[in-house]
């Protein structure tokens, strides 16, 4: 299907976008981050595997690295209402990413503080500032000297 500018969309339909996301998930979870640490008094070099979180940016990079599309932002933003048929699948992808980040943060797999900030889950406390006068300004109460 062509968009209004006459160029064919790089991703043919919502099902294609979903399939790409499923490939990205498998690729991401099968390629953990390697954390380099030094252990013991001799500082023996070791690597430990850390689960890699799902991110929208990671999905965009995956698609670009695969040569499919360099920028998915138009699909997610529905630029000029040209990607309307992708809205439902883009919402689903965002929810999957958010769910992975939140559950990973709650389980301690990912840094909970970063997970909270990325997903707008930080508690915001409102502090009310009440200004109280230092001296009583009422003219009715005069101080006798």
Look up the CATH number of the domain holding residue 70. Answer: 1.10.132.80
Asked whether the predicted pLDDT for residue 5 surpasses 80, the reply is no
Predicted local distance difference test score (pLDDT) of residue 54: 96
The number of folded domains in the chain is 1
3-state secondary structure of 27: helix
CA distance 89 to 92: 5
Domain presence at residue 19 = yes
pLDDT, tens digit, 9 for 90 and up, residues 18-61:
999 999 999 999 999 999 999 999 999 999 999 999 999 999 99
Domain presence at residue 141 = no
Domain presence at residue 124 = no
3-state secondary structure of 2: strand
Domain presence at residue 47 = yes
| DSSP state letter for 47 | E
Predicted local distance difference test score (pLDDT) of residue 2: 40
Domain presence at residue 50 = yes
Domain presence at residue 57 = yes
Asked whether the predicted pLDDT for residue 80 surpasses 50, the reply is yes
pLDDT, tens digit, 9 for 90 and up, residues 58-67:
999 999 999 9
Domain presence at residue 76 = yes
CA distance 120 to 141: 51
Provide Rg for the chain, Cα atoms.
26
Task: Return the percentage of the chain with pLDDT > 90, whole number.
Answer: 59
Nearest to 90 by CA among 12, 17, 9: 17
Write out the residue range of the structural domain in which residue 101 sits: 14-115
Domain presence at residue 144 = no
Exposure string of 1-17, with b = 16+ CB inside 10 Å and e = fewer, is eeeeeeeebbbeebeeb
């Amino acid at each position: 299907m062509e968009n209004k500018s006459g160029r064919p969309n790089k991703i043919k339909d919502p099902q294609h976008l979903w399939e790409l996301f499923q490939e990205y998930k498998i690729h991401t979870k099968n390629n953990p981050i390697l954390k380099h640490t030094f252990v013991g008094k001799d500082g023996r070099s070791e690597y430990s595997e850390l689960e890699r979180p799902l991110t929208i940016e990671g999905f965009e990079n995956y698609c670009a690295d695969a040569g499919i599309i360099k920028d998915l932002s138009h699909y997610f933003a529905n630029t000029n209402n040209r990607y309307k048929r992708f809205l439902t699948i883009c919402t689903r992808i965002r929810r999957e990413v958010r769910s992975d980040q939140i559950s990973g943060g709650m389980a301690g797999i990912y840094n909970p503080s970063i997970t909270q900030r990325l997903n707008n889950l930080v508690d915001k406390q409102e502090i009310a500032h009440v200004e109280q006068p230092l001296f009583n300004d009422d003219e009715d109460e005069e101080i006798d000297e």
